[in-house]
Amino acid sequence: MREVRELRGDSGQVLARTEFLNGKADGLTQAWSESGTLTLEASCREGEYHGPYRSWWDSGVPKEEGTYASGKRVGKYRWWKQNGDLWKEHDYGGAL
């Protein structure tokens, strides 16, 4: 059974939303700061990250970007500092 679950803050705002299939995360997962800034957007399959993964600092500046395959990082992955400067890049190899 497919369903969408949400986590809400004290004032009712959505802080996280994840698609589930048969009780496991499967599909899009997103998270927001209490101020409403998108801080995470990732794809899941059978309870693990699988596909594009992006996260942002609460300011909206990119934090991480890469790809997962069955819960493991694959390909090029990048991280940024809070000021927006690229901090690190790494190629994990592999493919989806």
Q: pLDDT value at position 95?
A: 66
Q: For residue range 3-26, list pLDDT tens digits in order.
A: 999 999 998 999 999 999 999 999
Q: pLDDT value at position 78?
A: 98
Q: pLDDT value at position 94?
A: 77
Question: Can you list the residues of the chain whose pLDDT is less than 70?
Answer: 95-96
pTM of the entire structure?
0.90
Mind listing the domains of the chain with CATH numbers? 2-91 (3.90.930.1)
Q: How far apart are CA 41 and CA 71, in angstroms?
A: 15
